[in-house]
Amino acid sequence: VREELDPFLSLVETSYNVLGWSAYDQVLEQINGLPISDEGKEDLVRRFPPRECAAPAQWDEDEEDEDFAEAYLK
């Protein structure tokens, strides 16, 4: 399988880097359109999985601004 993937790895990697966050469906379409075996396609999908956020954003709840606004309005 490795030999049949080698010619396409850089192409899929580039697409994954460009479209992986916004249009992963297009990456999958490209992988499924390659002239390789189903096993090779499954291997590529494992190598280039859907991207996810590493961790959710942490928002600091700063009440100082709220207190300032309340004091200003009084």
Question: Which pLDDT tens digits describe the chain residue by residue (74 residues)?
Answer: 789 999 999 999 999 999 999 999 999 999 999 999 999 999 999 999 998 877 766 766 655 556 666 666 66
The pLDDT, as a whole number, for residue 53 is 75
Q: What is the pLDDT of residue 2?
A: 83
Residue ranges of the domains in the chain? 1-51
Distance CA 31, CA 12 (A): 7
| Confidence (pTM) | 0.68
In this prediction, residue 51 carries a pLDDT of: 87
Distance (Å, whole) CA 42 – CA 1: 10
- Cα(12)–Cα(29) distance, rounded to whole angstroms? 11
